[in-house]
Amino acid sequence: MSGRHDWLIEPLSSDVAQALRRLQRAPGVERIAVMPDVHLAKEVCIGTVVATDQWIYPAAVGGDAGCGVLAAQLDVPAERLRDPVAAASVLAGFAAEIPVLKHARASPMPAELEERRLSHAALEREKKRTCRVQLGTIGRGNHFVELQSDDEDQLWIMIHSGSRGIGTLIRSHHEAVGERVAGGLRRLDEASDAGRDYLSDHRWALDYAQANRGRILGGALRVLGDVLGARLVEESTIECHHNFVRAEVHDGRPLLVHRKGAISALKGEPGIIPGSMGTPSFHVEGRGNGDSLNSSSHGAGRVCSRTEARSRISPKDLERQLRGVLYDKRLASRLVDEAPLAYKDIRRVMRAQKNLTAIKRRLRPLLVHKGT
Residues annotated as part of the active site? 298
Query: Is the distance from CB of 279 to CB of 340 less than 8 angstroms?
Result: yes
Among 24, 120, 71, which residue's Cα sits nearest to residue 240?
Answer: 71
Query: Is the distance from CB of 128 to CB of 101 less than 8 angstroms?
Result: no
C-alpha distances (whole Å) from 14 to each of 85, 180, 230 are 49, 24, 49
Q: Where are the beta strands (DSSP E) in the chain?
A: 3-6, 29-39, 46-52, 55-56, 68-77, 144-150, 154-161, 179-180, 186-189, 238-241, 243-250, 253-260, 262-264, 270-273, 281-286, 295-297, 357-370
Query: Is the distance from CB of 97 to CB of 223 less than 8 angstroms?
Result: yes
Residue 192: partners with Cβ closer than 8 Å, 6 or more residues away: none
Q: Which residues of 212-225 are buried (b: 16+ CB within 10 A; e: fewer)?
A: bbbbbbebbbebbe
Among 351, 371, 370, 362, which residue's Cα sits nearest to residue 71?
Answer: 362
The rounded distance, in Å, linking the Cα atoms of 139 and 155 is 24
